[in-house]
Amino acid sequence: MTAPTSNISTARPMVIVGLDALDHWIGTVCRGVVLSTGAALLVSIAIGVVARYVITVGGVDWAEEVPKQLFAWFIMSGVVLAVQGGNHIAVDLVMHYLSPGALRILVVLTNLLVCVAYVYLFGVAMEVAELAAAERNPVLGTPGSLPFYALAAGAVLTAVGSLSIAIRVWVLGADARPQGNPEDSVE
């Protein structure tokens, strides 16, 4: 059985339409998390700075702890968005020398490997979250597992994103992979 030939411009197969919807949904959720946690980080840090240096009451206890709890969610949402956009750091040594068929296989295998690795990371993150659930943050009183759930959720969504890329490339060809921002590339 041969792989389907590259065909991005014509009617999109159903599987790709389904992946478009899934990726769009994941991207929307992650953008929402990045914006909301980013705003909360900015506000809580600003409150801490104002309390310490402007009204000189030393600081606000909760404003110290909130950023530590939110940072993992902020970062992991960004990780997922970067996977979807192909913006992660990569060193391409052989991709430019491969034929379209070989490039397609390489991209599919790379993304499947990433997918498997992140499914494994999800399992590890859940195990650690279970352990950390017994730890209580001293000011907010929230369980220590919350940041690990961010890691677990980010791992699952990264795995889904990588799998989506692998399927897209297999169906449509290597050009269907996210190309990243050209301004971020170093030739």
Q: Which residues bind another protein (CB under 8 A)?
A: 51-52, 56-61, 64-65, 128, 131-132, 134-139, 144
Cβ proximity to another protein, 2 vs 56, nearer residue = 56
Considering the complex, what minimum distance in angstroms separates the CB of residue 55 from another protein? 9
Considering the complex, what minimum distance in angstroms separates the CB of residue 131 from another protein? 5
Cβ proximity to another protein, 113 vs 131, nearer residue = 131
Residue for token pair 């979807």: 84
Cβ proximity to another protein, 25 vs 120, nearer residue = 120
CA distance 5 to 30: 32
Considering the complex, what minimum distance in angstroms separates the CB of residue 178 from another protein? 35
Cβ proximity to another protein, 61 vs 184, nearer residue = 61
DSSP string, 24-91: HHHHHHHHHHHHHHHHHHHHHHHHHHIIIIIS-S---HHHHHHHHHHHHHHHHHHHHHHHHHT-S---
CA distance 142 to 115: 31
Considering the complex, what minimum distance in angstroms separates the CB of residue 143 from another protein? 10
CA distance 93 to 111: 17
